Amino acid sequence: MNGVPTSPPPLTHADPDPVSRGLRLGAEWLAFLASFATHLVALVLLAMCTLLLPTRQTVELTADVPEFEEELPPEEFRFSDLVQPEVGALADNGLSEAAAAAPVEMLESEVVLDTQPVDDSGNLAAFDVERPILQGPTLDDNLLVKGVGAIGATGASGAIDRITNEIILSLDQRPTLVIWMFDASGSLKAQRAEIIKRFDRVYKELGVIADSGNPAFNDQEEKPLLTAVTSFGARLNELTAVPTDDVDEIKAAVRSVSDDDSGQENVFGAVLAVTNKYRHHRLKKPRRNVMLVIFSDEAGDDIAQLDPAVRACRTLEMPVFVVGVPAPFGRRESFVKYIDPDPKYDQSPQFLPVDQGPESLYPERIKLDYLGQGGEEITLDSGFGPFGLTRLCFETGGAYFAVHPQRQVGRRVSEYETPPMTAFVSMFFDQRIMRRYRPDYVPVAEYQRLLAANGARRALVEAAELSWTEPMEGIRLQFPKLDDAQFANDLSMAQRDAAKLEPKLTRLVSVLSQGERDRPKLDEPRWQAGYDLAMGRALATLVRTEGYNAMLARAKQGLKFKEEESDTWVLRPSEEVSTGSVLAKQAAAAKEYLERVIQEHPGTPWELLAKRELATPFGWSWEEEYNRLAERLAQAQENANTPPPERPENLPPRKERRPPPKL
């Protein structure tokens, strides 16, 4: 009834034509088979279409390697003869000139490989490293690294050997003029004798190299190596009339250096005069390289001439090498051990002040006494040379050699071990560590801009200048008690001294506190360590001073001995600081600053001084002692009434001590 018959109707006696019915049924089956065959063919054709898609093809490329009969010649590099008014990143060729001048050895590798163990063999883990492990080169100790501030040496001869190599490298480029400049002060007399002995070897080595056919000495129209010798003190002295290559004449000129008794060392003015006299060697053609080698044991008295000297050497491209002394850490003066060279006079050592620092343009370390530890430590090595001479080397592409015979890292040196005419330096530090703490070798104007840009820097320098102009006096810790009146008078005198000291410390802390807001903005390790150490030490000293004054006031109200025989009250450092008071908060802040210095700057002078400050507690406590005061007073009165014993006649007479010369 729906128009699609599913099966033929049943055969009944009512159907009059059975034949027509059979034909109709056969036609339906033929239609079904035809439809099935058509759909099957269509499916097969669709399946065959996929075989007609493009397939991946591999193309092999081959090329014949050309054969060269000889190696290609290396590319030649040529240098412009034009003198650049500026060098470095500000010059016309700034992109190329700003490249690093030398390798700097890193203490720790920055290459980190994250490897996971793939197997265990016994107690050892096996690792599968697919990437090569990068390793820095092993640098020779004799490799001259420029721009690091200072290079440590134990003698001038070692420094000269390394400068000899620089002379050879200069000769590889073009003929060279070496100007030797000697400090004429008496303190350098022994070093000059050592240098003269070394000159034979220097020029002998250069002669051997020339005879060996080294290209540096070949194809030169003029003499490849010339030498000039000068000395300086209050003024410059020319010891060779003209530059020469005669070794005997050179050594005779060095021996002719006479001591300058003026006590002045105008080294930067001497550099200016030398560059002006020999500038034609850099300007005329064919040009010569000109090297300045300075021997000095002081910082220089004409620092106002530093900037002109730097500009002249940079403009004329004259590198400066200095064989000098290490600058004391944060101090202007070192103390040179002097023994009278004449045995007729007193031979006991004297330590004379000599300007050999500081290592920075201005002192960046406050001057405070260390309580109960023998005064201020002024003999630490800064890791660098005096600021002016080191900056002159740094900006001209030279190097500063800090020479000291007792240089040994990690070991304290006593005054007894210090040789005569040598500055006493009690501790040296690893130069690889100290390179991170290089001072800012910039002109005064640029340094002032650095201070203006950060309050912590400015506060540190101001505090250092303040503590230098107003030295902090020591305080009394022992108070004998013979009677109440004498004891009260001693306490009052000590309070008066503390009252003088306390306002200075308060001002010092106030100046440093003005830069506390900018302390987090400091990125340079040197400024971070300097500010934290200064703030920690100033706060610690202020806490001790105010606590000291409070303990004296308490003693004036009455102190009673527990032991009957006790006769002396002694103030000793203690961990006890008034809990919850302002002093307690300041003590906690001081400890925090000092501990941060120790954690973040290991192996440096700042760490050593922070540990020394923390070695003494910030609080106070009274302790009683028995010192036999009555007996000692009676003995002193008896000795005052007894004439001194006569000097035995067989003893040799005392030697006279004459005033030392100016060093």
pLDDT greater than 50 at residue 67: yes
Contacts 24+ apart (CB under 8 A), 196-200: 196/251, 196/254, 196/255, 197/157, 198/156, 198/157, 198/160, 198/161, 199/247, 199/250, 199/251, 199/254, 200/247, 200/251
309 or 154, higher pLDDT:
309
**pLDDT higher than 60, residue 93:** no
Residue 34 pLDDT > 50, yes or no?
yes
Q: How many CA atoms lie within 13 A of 241 on its CB side?
A: 0
Question: By percentage, how much of the chain surpasses pLDDT 90?
Answer: 32
Are the CB atoms for 243 and 227 separated by under 8 Å?
yes
Helix (H/G/I), strand (E/B), else coil: 415:
coil
Contacts of 492 (CB under 8 A, 6+ apart): 556
pTM: 0.73
More confident residue, 86 or 597: 597
Does the pLDDT of residue 394 top 90, yes or no?
A: yes
Residue 501 vs residues 265, 470, 542, 544, 618: alpha-carbon distances, Å: 37, 10, 9, 11, 16
CA 23 – CA 110 distance, rounded (Å): 96
Tokens, residue 271: 């550099």
Sign of CA dihedral 449, 451, 454, 455: negative
Q: What is the pLDDT, as a whole number, of residue 216?
A: 54
Quickly state the pLDDT bin for 406 (edges 50, 70, 90): confident
pLDDT score at 463: 94
- Top pLDDT among 87 and 171 is at 171
* Residue 661 burial (10 A CB sphere; 0-12, 13-18, 19+): middle
Which helix (H) or strand (E) is 481 found in, with range?
none
For every residue of 94-111, DSSP letters joined together read HHHHTS-SS----SS---
Q: Which of 188-202, 276-290, 384-398, 564-578 has the lowest mean pLDDT?
A: 188-202
One-letter identity of residue 425: V
Output the pLDDT for position 210. 60
Mean pLDDT to the nearest integer, 7-26: 54
pLDDT interval class at 23 (50, 70, 90): low
* Helix, strand or coil, per DSSP, at residue 323: strand
pLDDT digits (tens, 9 = 90+) for 455-466: 999 999 999 998
- Name which of 41-55, 143-157, 351-365 the model is least confident about: 143-157
Predicted local distance difference test score (pLDDT) of residue 417: 86
What is the SS3 assignment for 307? helix
SS3 566: coil
Domains of the chain, residue spans: 151-447, 454-640
Please state which of the ranges 360-369, 385-394, 594-603 shows the lowest mean pLDDT. Answer: 360-369
52 has a pLDDT exceeding 50: yes
Q: Which amino acid is at 657?
A: R
Q: Give the tens place of pLDDT for each residue, 249-305.
A: 888 888 888 888 777 889 999 999 999 999 999 988 888 999 999 999 889 999 999
Whether the CB-CB separation of 606 and 533 falls below 8 Å is answered with yes
Phi, psi of 153 (to 5 degrees): -150, 150
200: pLDDT confidence band, cut at 50, 70 and 90? Answer: low
Strand partners for 244: 227
Q: What is the CATH number of domain 151-447?
A: 3.40.50.410
Residues facing residue 177 across a β-bridge? 226, 290
Q: How far apart are CA 533 and CA 600, in angstroms?
A: 12
Spatial separation of the C-alpha atoms in residues 603 and 429, rounded to whole Å: 7
Task: Judge whether residue 604 has pLDDT over 90.
Answer: yes
Return mean pLDDT, the chain. 78
Task: Please report where in the chains the tokens 């128009």 appear, as a residue.
Answer: 3
Residue 290 CB contacts under 8 Å (≥ 6 apart), including other chains? 176, 177, 179, 278, 281, 282, 316, 318
Among 112-121, 156-165, 239-248, 365-374, the minimum mean pLDDT is found in 112-121
Bridge partners (DSSP) of residue 176 are 225, 289
* Maximum mean pLDDT: which of 28-42, 100-114, 579-593: 579-593
Q: Are 235 and 183 in contact (CB under 8 A)?
A: no
- Would you give the end-to-end CA distance of the chain in angstroms? 136
| Spatial separation of the C-alpha atoms in residues 379 and 413, rounded to whole Å | 10
| DSSP for 159-175, written as a single string | HHHHHHHHHHHHHHHS-
In 436-483, which ranges are continuous DSSP H helix?
A: 444-453, 455-469
Instruction: Inform me whether the pLDDT recorded for 161 exceeds 80.
Output: no
Res 377: pLDDT: 59
pLDDT > 70? residue 205: no
Per residue in 299-336, pLDDT (tens digit) is 999 999 999 999 999 999 999 999 989 999 998 888 98
Cα–Cα distance between 291 and 34 in angstroms, integer?
108
Rounded distance between C-alpha atoms, residue 558 and residue 571, angstroms: 15
Q: Give the per-residue SS3 of 203-227.
A: HHHHHHHHHCCCHHHCCCCCCCEEE
Residue type, position 641, single letter: N
C-beta of residue 546 within 8 angstroms of C-beta of residue 584: no
CA torsion sign, 182 to 186 to 191 to 196? positive
The pLDDT value given to residue 180: 93
Residue 276 identity: N
Instruction: Find the mean pLDDT for residues 178-198.
Output: 78
Amino acid identity of residue 89, one-letter, is A
Provide the sign of the torsion angle of the four alpha carbons 528, 529, 531, 536, taken in this order.
positive
Give the mean pLDDT of 411-419. 86
pLDDT at 495: 87
Token pair 């440093």 is found at 512
Other C-beta atoms lying within 10 Å of the C-beta of residue 525: 16
Banded model confidence at residue 112, pLDDT cuts 50, 70, 90? very low
Instruction: Using pLDDT thresholds of 50, 70 and 90, give the confidence band for residue 11.
Output: very low
Look at residue 22 and tell me whether its pLDDT is greater than 70.
Answer: no
Instruction: Please give the Cα distance from 544 to 587 (Å, whole number).
Output: 9
Can you give the pLDDT at residue 263? 76
